[in-house]
Amino acid sequence: MKKLPRLLLFFGLVLCLLLAGCGKNSGGSSGTTIRGQIVINGQPAKPEQVNHKVWANDKWYLGNVISENGKFVHGNGLLDHEYCRPGSIVTLYFEANEVTAEM
């Protein structure tokens, strides 16, 4: 019979966490996104042409890539919630790669 109060306590705790919205930032689901498209002389850039990273909170956020049509979006990445929120000051960095073409 002692198990019942513990079980109620456990479910109560789970319910409380859900209602409080715990973990709502862990996946960057705050609803704020930063997006755009990288072009080179008017033409959409390819992923291999451009490196991309973000400077915010006095550190670099690496591992960002642009898509095949040059588009990028922040807001759903693992650590995006740390800077992708209203009032944050971010610097987006884009580096044109060295490109080797072989035939």
Partner 1 sequence: MPRGSIVTLYFEANEVTGAFRETYVYEYVVKKGDNNLGQIDLGLYGFGLTSPDDDVEIGQDNWPLEFKWTVYGRAGVKPTYRLNLNIPVLFTFVPIEKITEGTSVFINGNEKLTLLGLEFRLNQVQNWTVCVEYPAGDHTIRHYSESRKIKLNPPPTPEE
Binding site for partner 1 (CB under 8 A): 31-42, 45, 49-50, 83-103
Residue 87 beta carbon to partner 1: minimum distance, rounded to whole angstroms: 7
Q: Closer to partner 1 at the Cβ: 12 or 27?
A: 27
Q: Closer to partner 1 at the Cβ: 5 or 86?
A: 86
| CA dihedral angle for residue 79, residue 81, residue 84, residue 89, rounded to 10 degrees | -80
Q: Closer to partner 1 at the Cβ: 5 or 87?
A: 87
